[in-house]
Structure 1
Amino acid sequence: MEQVSLVTGGTSGIGMAVAEAFMRKGAAVAVCGRSQAALDRFSHAHPDALAIKADVTVARERAAMLDAVADRFGRLDVLVNNAGTFIERNFATGAEATDALENELALNFASPIHLTGEVLARWPEMTGIVFVTAGYALVSPTRAPTYGAAKAGLHGFAEGLRRQLAPRGTHVLEVLPPLVDTPMNAHVEGRKTSPAEVAAVTLKALEARRPMALPGATRLLPTMLRVAPKTVTRTVAKS
């Protein structure tokens, strides 16, 4: 049987681009999302894929999603933790900066960790686990410090998990996209990388078993943080 991949938040943006890239390579693909309309559109465009309505922050819905994958495919080889949200918060303006903070951290940080643990409990010999973080995992954005904190935490989790799972052959990949041309960033000015480019770099890094996939402008970010950290910080402060 072909490789089986599950992409959370796979009905739009980076997630959909990654799901479609897997399908072009012959993989069996499942995606999940919270919008039934988006899931219906995805299913119409990709009738051979499995589209599952699930909120990954809810334990029973994660379990039902994995049951659906098991019923359809019998196994899972690659998990792509992509679902997330970007919320701007200004702590200089008052207490409302923490409104719905728990929901944001549940989606961006806790749910990928929970789902990863639940997947490994069912399928211990996974081929790969992917975490879509962001360049902001390395330098937090001024306009969204809690987003940066969540992605930095996920970066640390991926790093430690990679060492834990290496002996059994499960590869852990972190994807650090720059500003990407998605609906979430429609109001943001600046050069944007296409979701298709992020997907292509992701699959290439997964196949090469690299620890990180660095598409677009993030390709030079680790080096720049070593040689010119103040320049990087000033640039991110404006983003």
Structure 2
Amino acid sequence: MTRRGESVQVVLITGGTSGIGLSLAEAFLAQGAAVAVCGRSTAALERFSRAHPNALAVQADVTSTEARIAMLDAVAARFGRLDVLINNAGIFVNRDFTEAPDATKDLEQELALNLTAPIQLTGDVLSRWPEISAIVFVTSGFALISPTRAPTYGAAKAGLHGFAEALRRQLAPNTHVLELLPPATDTPMNADFTGKKTSPAEVAAVTLKALEHRRSMALPGPTKLLPTLLRIAPNTIKRSVSKM
């Protein structure tokens, strides 16, 4: 967090033009940080730039090596360094392996965005800024228990959870590695979800607090109790998730 007398924090948020990413960008901007976001939609990037003219908005597909390098070049040219990387970009895909004849359609693209790209971008960033202050991985409560309707999403997020856990040990104590496990959140990705949703602003607030206190996990809303419930009542939680 940026305090009086300290230099301005530089933050890069992938998928930062909507949903959780946008709320994180606005929360950091409100605290005086210098913010860069990336996305694939030109229209969304233009809307973001109009609303936040002092931030940097970069069109980039993080699954592309060339696009990642160009994005980091743009951050370096504008701000000179990077202090916080937030790997937020992702996609939720329903896959029913009992019914769909093409249940693995576009699987490579899903896994590339949800798992491979965050790992690759983290490596790219560390090669440039090995003493970066913090790296955040946006996984999900589904990283701990996979959703019935989207098993490959759960698999990818579980993989990212494992990567974050090991990277935390590798980079300690200099770089803080935080995993954000949001519950069902009121974002475009969850537009068809009819259950209770947490607001993106709440997710962002919990994340910034977890960064400030150097916690290993940020657990907004219902996910706050998830690790404990998985220890003391795993069958109850699994039955609940089986309905999702």
Cα distance in 2 for residues equivalent to 1:90 and 1:238 = 14
Within 2, Cα distance between the matches of 1:238 and 1:21? 33
1:149 aligns with 2:158: no
**How far has the Cα of 1:95 moved from its partner?**
3.6
Q: Distance in 2 between matches of 1:38 and 1:120?
A: 28
Q: Indicate yes or no: 2:62 matched with 1:59.
A: no
Correspondence for 2:134: 128
Aligned twin of 1:74? 80
Pairing 1:172–2:174 present: no
1:169-192 CA-to-partner distances (Å, cap 9, x unmatched) read 100000000000011111111110
Alignment of 1:70-149 (within 5 A): 70-149=76-155
Distance in 1 of aligned mates of 2:30 and 2:224: 25
Instruction: State how far apart, in whole Å, the 2-side matches of 1:178 and 1:25 are.
Output: 24
Say whether 1:158 aligns with 2:164: yes
Once the two structures are superposed, residues 163-218 of structure 1 have per-residue CA deviations (whole angstroms, 9 ceiling, x without a partner) of 00004x10000000000001111111111000000000000001100000000000
Distance (Å, rounded) in 2 between the aligned partners of 1:76 and 1:183:
28
Structure 2 portions without partners, runs of 5+? 1-6
Partner of residue 203 from structure 1, selected from 208, 211, 230: 208
Please list the CA deviations of residues 10-33 of structure 1 after superposition, one character each: whole Å capped at 9, or x if unmatched: 000000000111111110000000
Alignment of 1:24-63 (within 5 A): 24-63=30-69
Aligned partners of 1:100, 1:179: CA distance in 2, in Å? 23
CA distance, structure 1, for counterparts of residue 74 and residue 101 of structure 2? 41
Report the CA distance between 1:94 and its aligned residue.
Answer: 4.0
Report the equivalent of 2:229: 224
Q: In 1, Cα distance between the equivalents of 2:17 and 2:178? A: 21
1:8 aligned residue (7, 14, 21): 14
- State how far apart, in whole Å, the 2-side matches of 1:183 and 1:70 are: 30
Measured in 1, the distance between the counterparts of 2:76 and 2:111 equals 28
1:72 counterpart letter in structure 2: R
Displacement of 1:237 in angstroms is 0.8
CA displacement 1:42-88 (0-9 Å, x = unmatched): 00000000000000000000000000000000000000000000000
User: Secondary structure of 1:7's match?
Assistant: strand
Alignment partners' CA distance in 2, 1:202 and 1:213:
6
> Aligned partners of 1:238, 1:164: CA distance in 2, in Å?
37
TM-score (norm 1): 0.99
Amino acid at match of 1:5: V
Cα separation, 1, equivalents of 2:28 and 2:99: 44
Q: Secondary structure at the match of 2:182?
A: coil
Unpaired runs of 5+ residues, structure 1, are none
Q: Between Structure 1 and Structure 2, how many residues are aligned?
A: 238
Taking only aligned residues, the RMSD between alpha carbons, in angstroms, comes to: 0.6
Q: Secondary structure of 2:108's partner?
A: helix
Q: Does 1:213 align with 2:218?
A: yes
